[in-house]
Structure 1
Amino acid sequence: MVYMRLLDQLKQQRDFTNNEQRIAAYILANLPAMTTIYLKDLAAATYTSHSAIIRLAQKLGFRGFREFQTALTTAAANEAHALDTVDANFPVAPNDDAQTIAKKMAALTVNTINATYQQLDTGLLQQVAQTLRGARRLFLFAQGDSQMRARSFQNKLVKLNQFAIIAEEYGDEAWNAANLTPNDVAIFISYAGTTRTHQQFVTYLQQQKVPIVVLTGNPDSPLLSAATYPIVTVQSEYNFAKIGTFASQAAFEYVLDTLFSLMYAQDLPTNLRSLQQKQQLMQAGPLTTK
C-alpha cells in the first residue's frame, strides 16, 4: 500500500538506489516540466536509463512511466494551487503581527487537510468505519496531544449511542488491554508510533485476534506490522523540534472526523430520526436543563 503522497515519497527517498535518488531530485527540481517530458529526455537529463525510471515508477506503485507522469502532472497542479508554504514546526517569525500569524495558521491547517486527503485510502476508511460500527466496545490508546483527539472522537461517538473507552486514562491501559476480545476494536493513535507499551499491546492483541486500528504519521512505525487497519498520514512535522503539534493533530482530527461521518452515514435515516428524538427530549422534554 502506498502511504505517502507522491512528492513525499520522492523527497524521503526510502530504499532508493543512487540512480533513483538522482531521478527523484531532478523531478522535484523540475516538477512543472514533468507534465510534458519524454521518457528518453528524463533519462538523458538524469544520466540514467529508461528501465531505471520505469523501475522507480513501479517502486512507487505505478504500472509504468505514463501512469507515473500522470500522477506527477496532478502533483504539479496541486503544488501550483497550494496556499503559501508554512513551516509546520516553526510557523511564526519574530516580526509577525497578529494578522500574519492568523494567515499562516489558516494556511497550515488547510495545507495539512489537503495533504492528508491526498494520502487517504478511502476504501480502507470505509472498512474501518464498518468494523467500528459493528464492534461491541472501542478502546482508544493515545497519549498527550493525541489523547485529546481521542477524546474528541469519543465525544462524537456518543451521538451514535456508541461509547468508547480511553484505555490509558487513570493508568489502566494494561487492564483494558487484558479485557479486549475479538468482538472489540483497539484503536492506537500516535504520530511517531514508537511508544514501547503500545508495541507490547499490539503484539499481544494481534495474538488474541483483536481487530487493531493504527493511526500514525510514521510509515516506519513498528505498530503497523500488527495492525489490521493501518492508517498513515505523513506530515512535515518533527518529533521534538517544534513549537506545537499543529499539523499532526489537524491531520488526526480530520481522519477521525471522516471516520465518524462514515459511521454516521451507514444508516443515515435512522441516525437522523434518533437525533431529532433526542434533541426534543433535551430541548423541550423531560431532559431539558435550561
Structure 2
Amino acid sequence: MKGSLTIVKLEKLVAGKNLTETEFTVLRYLVANIDRVLDLGVRGVAKANYTSATTVMRLAHKMGYRGFVEMQYKLMTMLRHGEAGTQPVEAADDPLQSAVLDQNDARTIRAVAQQIAAVENQYLYLYAAGFSGVIGHYMFKKFQILGKRCFFSTPGDSAALLENYLEDLGLFIVVSKSGETQSVIDKAALVSSLPVPVVAFTGNADSTLAKMADWTLKVADDFPLDELNQRASLFYPQMLALFELVIGEVEKLN
C-alpha cells in the first residue's frame, strides 16, 4: 500500500509525543511497511530496526494506543484515507453511506459513537439473531481490533453468558432486521431494566426493539417479509456501511 502520510504529516502526528530518534525511525518503518507489520509482529519490527520490542511498545503507548495491533490499525486507516478521516459525517461520498445518512440523523450517529468511545473499563455486548448475526460478528471483530472489551452472542448461546456480565456492561448493541425477533426483544428488555444504554441497528424504526432502545440506527428494509433473506438486497451491506460511519466518528473521539 502506498501511504499518503508525508513526512510533514508524520511530524504533525507526533507533535508533542516526545519521540526519540529511534522511535520516530520505527514509526516511519511502520508507515512504509504497513501491509506486513502484523505478520512481522512486535519482535520482527524491532529486529528490522535494530532495536528492542520494548521500544516498539513504548512507541505505541506514546502515540496514545493501547498496543501494537491498535497502532497498526489506526496507521493503516490514515494511510488508506489520508485526510478523509476528518470528513463530516454529513458528507460521506460512498453511495452506501450516503444512502444510510439519508435515513439517520447525524446527531444520533455521533451520540452512538460517543457511547462506544466512553466504554473503557466495562464491556460492550453485541447480540443478534439469524443473518443479523453476520453483522453482529463483524462488529464484534472490529471492536476487538480497536481494543474494546466485548462479547457477542446469538440465540444459540447460553442465556447465562449475558446474565453473567450484566454488572459489568457499559453498552448493549443489538442488530435485528425486523426488530421483532423474540429472543432479541427478551435480551433488550433485560438490559433496558438496568442503567445500561441500548443501541439498536434495525430495519424497522417502529419495532418493539426500536422503542426499547435509547438510540436507534435504521436501514430501509425493502423486503420485510423475506425472513430467509432469499431476495437480492442491499440491507445488510447498508447496515455495515452505517456501522462503519459510526466507527469513523469513534475514531475522531480517540
TM-score of the two chains, using structure 1 as the length reference: 0.49
Root mean square deviation of aligned Cα = 2.3
2:187 is the alignment partner of 1:201: yes
1:252 maps to which of 224, 239, 242: 239
> Percentage identity across aligned positions?
18
1:132 maps to which of 116, 133, 146: 116
SS at 1:243 equivalent: coil
Greater Cα offset, 211-220 or 233-242: 233-242
Write out per-residue CA displacement over residues 151-175 of structure 1, whole angstroms, 9 at most, x where no aligned residue: 2222222332113211227512443
Partner of 1:117: 101
2:206 is the alignment partner of 1:229: no
- Is 2:127–2:154's contact at 8 Å kept on the other side of the alignment? yes
Partner of 2:74: none
* Gapped regions of structure 2 (runs ≥ 5): 1-93
Greater Cα offset, 120-129 or 235-244: 235-244
Greater Cα offset, 136-145 or 112-121: 112-121
Write out per-residue CA displacement over residues 120-150 of structure 1, whole angstroms, 9 at most, x where no aligned residue: 2111111111111222111111122211112
Output the CA distance in 2 between the equivalents of 1:170 and 1:181. 22
2:224 is the alignment partner of 1:238: yes
- 1:203 offset after TM fit, Å? 1.7
Output the CA distance in 2 between the equivalents of 1:151 and 1:261. 18
Larger Rg: 1
- Is 1:185–1:211's contact at 8 Å kept on the other side of the alignment? yes
Corresponding letter in the other structure for 2:183:
T
Write out per-residue CA displacement over residues 94-120 of structure 1, whole angstroms, 9 at most, x where no aligned residue: xxxxxxxxxxxxxxxx76544322112
- 1:256 offset after TM fit, Å? 1.0
- Is 1:149–1:253's contact at 8 Å kept on the other side of the alignment? yes
SS at 1:181 equivalent: helix
Corresponding letter in the other structure for 1:226:
M
In the TM superposition, 1:89-128 aligns within 5 A as: 113-128=97-112
Q: Residues 195, 116 of structure 1: CA spacing in aligned structure 2 closer, same or farther, 3 A cutoff?
A: same
- Is 2:176–2:184's contact at 8 Å kept on the other side of the alignment? no
Output the CA distance in 2 between the equivalents of 1:255 and 1:174. 30
Partner of 2:65: none
Corresponding letter in the other structure for 1:188:
V
Output the CA distance in 1 between the equivalents of 2:183 and 2:233. 25
* Gapped regions of structure 1 (runs ≥ 5): 1-109, 268-290
Corresponding letter in the other structure for 1:212:
V
1:166 maps to which of 142, 145, 152: 152
Partner of 2:203: 217
Q: Choose between structure 1 and 2: higher helix proportion.
A: 1
Q: Residues 253, 207 of structure 1: CA spacing in aligned structure 2 closer, same or farther, 3 A cutoff?
A: same
- Is 1:146–1:189's contact at 8 Å kept on the other side of the alignment? yes
Output the CA distance in 1 between the equivalents of 2:138 and 2:186. 25
SS at 1:171 equivalent: coil
SS at 2:127 equivalent: strand
Q: Residues 209, 245 of structure 1: CA spacing in aligned structure 2 closer, same or farther, 3 A cutoff?
A: farther
- Is 1:177–1:201's contact at 8 Å kept on the other side of the alignment? no
SS at 1:193 equivalent: coil
Q: Residues 257, 243 of structure 1: CA spacing in aligned structure 2 closer, same or farther, 3 A cutoff?
A: same
Corresponding letter in the other structure for 2:123:
R
